Amino acid sequence: GFLQFYEEENHYLIHVNEKFNYEKLVIAHELGHFFLHKNVNTFKLANCSSVLENKLEHQADVFASEILLTDEMLTNA
């Protein structure tokens, strides 16, 4: 997935690879980046620190799981 911001129009675009089967997961993950990291230049960061990049990816994954997993899913597992 990919989250892109068009500052001039104040629009965000989430692109999901059409070959990927978990569209909701990708969208939730990218929303995590939006809400948690919208002021971070992730392209620049990726070239500077793989540890920090992995931390941001993990945070977006946790955000996605919080959105997608219901209490019932967690208690009946």
Active site amino acids = 30
Task: State whether the Cα torsion 16-17-19-20 is positive or negative.
Answer: negative
Distances from the Cα of 24 to the Cα of 27, 34, 50, 55, 64, angstroms: 5, 15, 26, 21, 9
